[in-house]
Chains A and B, each alone.
Chain A
Amino acid sequence: MAEAEIIPLGARGRPGRGSGRRTTPSAAARSLASGVPKPRISGPRGPSASPEPAAQRDSAAPADELFVTGRHGEVGFDVAAALAWAAQEVFGDDWEKSLAEVLAFVRRRLTGEYTVDEFGFDAELTSQLTMAVLRPLAERWFRIDVRGIENIPAGSGALVVSNHSGTLPMDALMTSLVVHDHAHRHLRMLGADLVFRLPFVGEMARRSGATLACSEDAERMLDQGELVGVWPEGFKGIGKPFSQRYTLQRFGRGGFVSAALRTKVPIVPCSVVGAEEIYPLVGNIPSLARLLGVPYIPITPFLPWLGPLGMIPLPSKWLIEFGEPIRTDTYADGAADEPMLVFNLTDQVRETIQQTLHALLIRRGSVFS
């Protein structure tokens, strides 16, 4: 396999919140005074438009002026002024444009003026919100190195097959973020039916583009040219004990290979190193798990002992490598119904990922490096 290029993460020329210049309250008041020329709405801007010394209008000033008599005669808290002041704090200099964008986004969300696809995928929400929440985790906490991103086709259907680990499906979220940020595509995840039975989890999963891992849905998505992600180890992989880390479990029943063969899309093997260490699973309570109808109840060195604090993942160093695509369009039409071929292809994908995992582990060295 050709040596993949290392693409550094993080610096994408976009200073994040908190990394830019700090704004002092007085500076906020000053630009509030001069930055908003609209005179029509009543509020603090009338008086503050006069070039008073900023020192007098220190941090207390906006708070004073937020209680005003409005144009319609209502006395109250001037939301506009408060928001403008807060916006200045949060967005910095370009606040008016950013705020307008945020407000338009909020308005669309509130009035339902967005579209979802037939699987319930909300592209706008995913790009604007979900990915933004995950990004700092990927860039700062796990410091993910991505390799072989060029193996993801630009516009056509493909099936990304990955190893699964980490007690909670953080690896799936991180892979989809990496694909979103580097390949500029949405990774449509296939999830177990448990995901869609759980409140909130199922709702979020559909919203961020996931659907049920069944051949009907997989083939439907692949036929539509989507980039589909599958974790064929399932709960056996994600819930395996820490002692078995980086040992691939059985790859389901090869259903993902059949789906790829039927839709003639390439299979992109994906190897994730780092997720095994985020919640080291040292124990399980099978009886309680059976009672609750979940595959396992995780016990990690911190969970449940530290309560919610135990939910903080360990900051392991992550490497994600996308391997060379395995073509399936060269096989004959009925290939998906040949069990031997499906088994062989499944093994090929599994072996590729297992070997890449070993190579990446050597490359990474220490866990938290």
Chain B
Amino acid sequence: MGRVILVTGVSGYLGGSLARDLATDPDVDQVIGVDLVPPRQDLGPVRFVPADIRNPVIAKVIVGEDVDTVVHADVLPASGRGGSASSAKETNVIGTMQLLAACQKAPGLRKLVLRSSTEVYGASPRDPAMFTEDMSPKEVPRAGFARDALEVEGYVRGFARRRPDVVVTVLRQATLIGPTVDTAITRYFAYPAVPTVLGFDARLQFCHEQDVLGSLRVAVADDVPGSFNIAGRGILMLSQAIRRLGRPPVPLPSFAIAGVGSLLRSARLVDFPSDLTALLTYGRGVDTTRMREVLGFHPAFSTEEAFADFARTVLPGALSRERVARAENRLRGLHPEEIGHG
């Protein structure tokens, strides 16, 4: 008999794609997709069950369908849900608690995969350059999605202690980016002028949408318990990323970010993602040695490549590469279209 996999959060792009991918695996009998709202994309052979994971009804699905693997991909920031921070917290934290309670009562369960985020490490000036999986945040995130993810991971650790027979894999994924995803950070980069924190330049690491899916597939296919940082190789500075998009940065002093941010948000000009303020100030890097050596996953995209793949999809800004190159040629007295050297 093949496997029965339950995937949460299938209405989102990533959860849906993952469920559809897993369903094509010949070893898998059935993939059950769970979400509150019906999925926008066609899920193919995935059986969609409209259910709220905060409701004990989820336990009936897990036991009744004899699910052996649960992929919890429904821990998302408020911006990904289109709701408020408190309702996102409700779904993230309470939903996870209910789901884990149901999992604990399911005798047939063999594996739990949690899609978490590197946000759990927080971002502060006291951070080491690269976080490994066994480090804890230097400044514990007090609110927002980072706090949710941290609490969710805590509950998952508790579950792993109570059910040692279940393989528990936690994938802490770096900032998701890619041509088809729509997140707070992709919207942030798409504005004609990008607000930044004056006097700070964050180190960013990205994880391409394909690699997010790829790493989840590996975690479902192989039995590798533990936590893993998932990120593309290399680092991109925030200033560098904005320059690669050809957009002018607008540095704002840190004390003005909150006020100006909400002003711009209400004017629908620029959405400075409040969840990401710490990240966009101090930045963060995670070490991916365990991902390569223990999980055996090698991302197809480096941080730079993932960002370039995303940059393809947004219109180049006022300071685009072509314009800069043309200006350079003019200054050198070459024909504007000529290819300069160096």
Cα separation A118 to B200 with both chains bound (whole Å): 16
Q: Which residues of A contact B14 (CB under 8 A)?
A: none
For A83, the chain B residues whose CB sits under 8 A away are 331
Q: What 1/0 mask marks residues of chain A from 107 to 139 whose CB sits below 8 Å from any chain B CB?
A: 101111111111110100000000000000000
B243 with A111: CB separation less than 8 A? yes
> What are the interface flags for B230-244 relative to A under an 8 Å C-beta threshold, 1 for contact and 0 otherwise?
000011110111111
**Do residues B340 and A118 form an inter-chain contact, with CB atoms below 8 A?**
no
Q: A116-B235, A116-B237 are in contact. Are A38 and B328 (CB under 8 A)?
A: no
| Residues in chain A near residue B130, CB distance under 8 A | 118, 216-217, 220
A100, CB-defined interface residue at 8 Å: yes
A282 → B minimal CB distance (Å): 30
Chain A nearest Cβ from B201, distance in angstroms: 5
Q: Using Cβ atoms and an 8 Å threshold, which residues of chain B touch A116? A: 203, 235-237, 240
Which residue on A lies nearest to B321, using beta carbons?
A111
B251 CB → nearest A CB, Å: 10
A103 touches B333 (CB 8 A): no
Distance of A240 from chain B, by nearest CB (Å): 24
Residues in A with CB closer than 8 Å to B332 are 96, 99-100, 103
- Rounded to whole Å, the gap between the CB of B330 and the closest CB of chain A is 5
Partner of A41, one of B234, B243, B335: B335
Q: Is A80 an interface residue (CB 8 A)?
A: yes
A289 within 8 A of B: no
* Docked CA distance A116–B201 (Å): 12
How far is A45 from B253 in the complex, measured between Cα atoms in Å?
46
Q: Are A212 and B341 in contact (CB under 8 A)?
A: no
Partner of B333, one of A38, A120, A193, A216: A38
- Residue on A nearest B285 in the bound complex, by CB: A118
Complex Cα spacing A40 to B282, Å: 48
Chain B residues contacting A99 (CB-CB under 8 Å) are: 331-332
CB distance from B206 to the nearest CB of A (A): 14
Residues of chain A with a CB closer than 8 A to B333's CB: 36, 38, 41, 45, 80, 84
Q: How far is the CA of A45 from the CA of B333 in the complex (A)?
A: 10
Stretch at the interface among A197-205, A250-258, A361-369: A197-205
Chain A residue numbers with a CB within 8 Å of B135 are 216
Which of B129, B241, B243, B324 is close to A211, meaning CB atoms less than 8 Å apart?
B129
- Which chain A residue has the least Cβ–Cβ distance from B245? A112
* Contact of A147 with B by CB under 8 A: no
Binds A, one of B32-40, B111-119, B120-128, B154-162: B120-128
Chain A, range 174-227, C-beta contacts under 8 Å to B:
193, 196-200, 202-203, 206-207, 211-212, 214, 216-217, 220
Bound complex: CA A104 to CA B327 (Å): 11
Which residues of B lie under 8 Å from residue A211 when comparing CB positions? Answer: 129
When the two chains form the complex, which single residue of A112, A120, A212 contacts B243, counting CB atoms closer than 8 Å? Answer: A112
**Contact pick for B125, options A79, A112, A193, A216, CB 8 Å:** A193
How many residues on B have C-beta within 8 angstroms of the other chain's C-beta atoms? Answer: 45
Q: Are B324 and A100 in contact (CB under 8 A)?
A: no
Contact residue among B128, B234, B321, B331 (Cβ-Cβ distance under 8 Å from A103): B331
Asked if residues A200 and B199 are in contact (CB atoms below 8 Å), the reply is yes
Q: Does A101 contact B (CB under 8 A)?
A: yes
Q: Which residues on A sit within 8 Å (CB–CB) of B199?
A: 198-200, 202-203
- Using Cβ atoms and an 8 Å threshold, which residues of chain B touch A207? 201
A residues 82-110 near B (Cβ < 8 Å) are 83-84, 96, 99-101, 103-104, 106-107, 109-110
For the complex, what is the distance from the CA of A101 to the CA of B254, rounded to whole Å? 36
By a CB distance below 8 angstroms, the chain A residues around B244 are 111-113
B205-235 CB mask vs A (1 if < 8 Å, else 0) is 0000000000000000000000000000011
Q: Nearest chain A CB to B257's CB is how many angstroms away? A: 12
Query: Which residues of the partner chain A approach B43 to less than 8 Å between Cβ atoms?
Result: none
B334 within 8 A of A: yes
Residue numbers in B under 8 Å from A111 (CB-CB): 243-244, 246, 319, 321, 324-325
Q: Which residue of B lies closest to A36 (CB)?
A: B333
A212–B304 Cα distance when bound, in Å, is 24
Specify which of A36, A113, A115, A214 is in contact with B234 (CB 8 Å cutoff).
A115
Contact A100 B129, CB 8 Å, known A38-B333, A112-B244: no
State A109–B240 Cα separation when bound (angstroms). 8
**How far apart are the CA atoms of A36 and B330 in the complex, in Å?**
13
User: Is there contact, CB below 8 Å, between B285 and A212?
Assistant: no
The distance from the CB of B150 to the nearest CB of chain A, in whole angstroms, is: 20
B9 CB → nearest A CB, Å = 31
A203 in contact with B201 given A38-B333, A111-B321, A118-B285 (CB within 8 Å): yes
A45 to chain B, nearest CB (A): 8
Contact check, A114 vs B240: say whether CB atoms are below 8 A apart. yes
Instruction: Name the B residues within 8 Å of A202 (CB-CB).
Output: 125, 199-200
Q: Which residue on A lies nearest to B233, using beta carbons? A: A118
Closest residue of B by beta carbon distance from A114: B240
Nearest chain A CB to B2 CB, angstrom units: 41
Q: In the complex, how many angstroms separate the beta carbon of B331 from the nearest chain A beta carbon? A: 5
CB contacts (< 8 Å) of A41 on chain B: these are: 330, 333-335
When each residue 169-194 of chain B gets 1 if its CB lies under 8 Å from chain A and 0 otherwise, what string results? 00000000000000000000000000
Q: Which 5 A-B pairs have CB atoms at the shortest separation, nearest pair first?
A: A199-B199, A112-B243, A104-B342, A196-B125, A112-B244
Give me 12 A-to-B residue pairs in the complex whose CB atoms sit less than 8 angstroms apart, sorted by A's number: A99-B331, A101-B342, A107-B324, A107-B328, A111-B325, A114-B240, A118-B129, A120-B235, A199-B198, A202-B199, A216-B135, A220-B128
Q: A193-B126, A199-B253, A202-B199 are in contact. List 7 more A-B contacts (CB 8 A).
A: A80-B333, A99-B332, A106-B328, A111-B244, A120-B203, A212-B126, A212-B127
